[in-house]
Structure formats: C-alpha cells, structure tokens
Amino acid sequence: MTAIDDLLARNLAAAEYHPVGMGPVPTLEIALVMCMDARIDGHAAFRLNLGEVHLLRNAGGVVTDDVIRSLSISQHALGTREIMIIHHTDCGLARLEEDVFRAHLATFAGYRPTWSVQAFKDPHDSVRESLRRIRDSPFLLHHDAVRGFIFDVNTGLLEEVFVDGDTPTGQLDPAATPPPPGSARTVVAAAIAADSGGEVAGH
C-alpha cells in the first residue's frame, strides 16, 4: 500500500465531515506564505478555521514568481489585503548549498534549472529577502500590511523579522531617512501615499 492509497482511505472518512456552503473569499482577508515543513500545521499554529485565510506553501516559504502569481490572484480577485511571511527554525533549505544543489540537479537532468533553489543559512535573511520581493512587486495591490516571522519548531512561537526602516507595526516609519528612488521602500511609500492621498517622501 502506498501513501497515496492510505490517504485515499483517509479522505473517504474525512469527507463525512467536510463543511459545505463556504465562499472562496478568505474572511480574514489575509494570505500566509509558509514553508512546506511537515512539522508545521498552518491552521493549527494560528487556531485558524477553514475559509479564513489563503495558505501558500513551498520549500522555505520563499517568495517565488509563482507565489507572486498566487498573491496577485489572492489580492486582486479574492480580496486579501495583508500578507504574513513565515519561515522557521531548522529548515531543510538551510541544509542545502545553492551551488551544490543546482549542480546536482544539472547532473541529474542534463541541464541547470532556470529557477533559484533559494537556499539560505539564516532564516532572518530569507524572510527579509521575501519581504523585499513582495514590496518590490508591481503586481500586488496592497504592500502596506506585510510582515515577516520565524516560527520556532520547538516552541510553536513566532519571532518577527524587520527590514531596515520598518516600525514594529510592519508599517514604514515616515520619519526614517527617505529611501533612494526605485528602492523597495519607495515602492511601498508610494502605495501608502496613494492610499492616504499624501505626498511620497523622497519621490
């Protein structure tokens, strides 16, 4: 019996309790981007109910083009306004070397993948990179409530990670030094200014 056969049997039992009549719009208007790690239950970690959030998972919880694709649909078509990035301690991606793993895949497949593995050593760095990618994306409707965290797989608790210039609320600090034109912060500042009808600092 394969694991798939096992899961098919479990599905028959679970379907008895499947809720009906729910709509596709997440009621909390938020998307979570999280690592696929088998030790983390995305719904249980936040005591979530079905229908409350979009939960996007991949290796590392990193922001790839496909995550931007999903977030674009989540925000433009399904009404979410906030994003949480959730990476974690003891991540499998931290055990990989980017170049070594890409070379392994190249040997295996005959050519290098077009995508980055996005391996990292420190999850703080990977959360910051993912936050920057979201804030730099021109496809997203809402950039002003985007916050990043590291989930501790031993305690189940979160540590927030900040990008330089952020305040603890996840909003940009307007008193901070104006960012250079074209930077991630300029893009976010422009989005905030557009919301409030105000001037864009440093623009």
- Comparing CB distances to Zn ion, the nearer of 53 and 150 is 150
- Comparing CB distances to Zn ion, the nearer of 35 and 119 is 35
CB of 191 to Zn ion, least distance (A): 29
Q: Cβ distance 149 to 161 under 8 Å? A: yes
Q: Cβ distance 144 to 192 under 8 Å? A: yes
- Per CB under 5 A, does 127 bind Zn ion? no
The stretch near Zn ion (CB under 5 A) out of 91-99, 118-126, 174-182, 187-195 is 91-99
CB of 183 to Zn ion, least distance (A): 28
- Per CB under 5 A, does 85 bind Zn ion? no
- Per CB under 5 A, does 86 bind Zn ion? no
Measured CA distances, 179 to 95, 110, 175, 182, 195 (Å): 34, 43, 11, 8, 19
- Comparing CB distances to Zn ion, the nearer of 92 and 202 is 92
Q: What is the Rg, in whole angstroms, of the alpha carbon atoms belonging to the chain?
A: 19
How far apart (Å, rounded) are the C-alpha atoms in residues 82 and 29?
7
CB count, 10 Å around CB of 86? 24
Percent of the chain that is helix, strand, coil (3-state, to 5) = 35, 15, 45
Kindly tell me which residue out of 30, 33, 85, 91 binds Zn ion, with binding defined by CB under 5 A: 91
- Comparing CB distances to Zn ion, the nearer of 75 and 130 is 130
CB of 89 to Zn ion, least distance (A): 9
- Per CB under 5 A, does 37 bind Zn ion? yes
- Per CB under 5 A, does 96 bind Zn ion? no
CB of 27 to Zn ion, least distance (A): 27
Tell me the sheet residues that pair with 56: 33
Q: If residue 183 lies in a helix (H) or strand (E), which one and from where to where?
A: none
- Per CB under 5 A, does 32 bind Zn ion? no
CB of 68 to Zn ion, least distance (A): 19
CB count, 10 Å around CB of 182? 9
Where along the sequence are the contacts to Zn ion (CB under 5 A)?
35, 37, 91
